[in-house]
Amino acid sequence: MDKISFDLVSPERLLVSEDAEMVTIPGSEGEMGVMAGHMSLISTLKPGIIDAKIETGSHDRYFVTGGFAEVTATKVTVLAEEAIPVASLTAAELDMRIVDAQEDIATAKTDAEMTKATAALDHLKRMRAGL
């Protein structure tokens, strides 16, 4: 199976640079699976999980709060506002992020801010319930 190059970049640093069989990203229009040969596109990201299938049975998963993804036939580049390895998220950290998201909803000044904060809260609650 052909592989696709995957880079995950946060404002602080390059978090991941590896080849993957498939990368699933939380596009603003819905979840999107990307493999080698995919058509080129640029998409905004909603809060959610990036799942990079590195080899059969092995997945690297990251929670992102938003950002952009650029896809070509040979590469996926994600520029994330914030990216955290899912394996490192504890119940206490998720609880703290849920409170932060609730505060973001309470202080949202635009529909776009409200939509993003609500999506983040929903995803965080689902992740917390899954622990």
Look up the domain containing 94 and give its range: 89-129
For the chain, what is the domain count?
2
What SS3 class is residue 41?
Answer: strand
56 and 119 fall within a common domain:
no
Residuewise pLDDT in 10s, the chain (131 residues): 789 999 999 998 999 999 999 999 999 899 999 999 999 999 999 989 999 998 766 889 999 989 999 999 999 999 999 999 998 889 999 999 999 999 999 999 999 999 989 999 998 998 888 77
pLDDT attached to residue 54:
86
pTM, two decimals, is 0.85
12 and 40 fall within a common domain:
yes
59 and 96 fall within a common domain:
no
Which own/partner contact pairs does 81-85 have at CB distance under 8 Å and 24+ positions apart? 81/10, 81/11, 82/10, 82/11, 83/8, 83/10, 83/15, 83/50, 85/60, 85/61
49 and 99 fall within a common domain:
no
pLDDT attached to residue 80:
96
